[in-house]
Structure formats: C-alpha cells, structure tokens
Amino acid sequence: MLFLVAALLLLGVVMGSVAHAPLPVTLVAAAVIGIWLAVFAIRERNARRRHTSTG
C-alpha cells in the first residue's frame, strides 16, 4: 500500500513538471523514455529466451 501511495505521489510530481515544461522538451523526454523502455524490453526478452533455451 505504501508503494502505491509513493508511486501515485511520484506520478503527480512528474505530471506537474510536464505541465510546466515547453512542448518540445516534453516530446524529447517522452522519446528518450520510450527508447529506453524499448531497449529494456528487448534485452529482457533476449535474456529470457537465452535462459530458457539452455535450461
């Protein structure tokens, strides 16, 4: 429950920051986060595939 409260509080802070940032800055930040998430997902998928094929 405490984790959920902390996550919602952090979300509120981030959304408040985005509301005051210029649109190009917001779009660049969103693109960077999206690329990071895509790279993370690909690395995790490859790691799982490698782990299950050797087991």
Kindly state the helix (H) or strand (E) to which residue 37 belongs, with its residue range.
helix 23-54
Tell me the per-residue pLDDT of 6-35, one tens digit each, with 9 for 90 and over. Answer: 888 888 888 887 788 898 988 998 899 999
26 within 8 A of 18, measured Cβ to Cβ: yes
pTM given for the model: 0.60
Cα atoms found within 13 Å of the Cα of residue 18, Cβ hemisphere only: 11
What per-residue confidence (pLDDT) applies to 26? 86
- pLDDT for the residue numbered 20: 87
The more confidently predicted of residues 36 and 18 is 36
Helix (H, G, I), strand (E, B) or coil at 22: coil
Rounded to whole angstroms, the Cα distance separating 42 from 22 reads 31
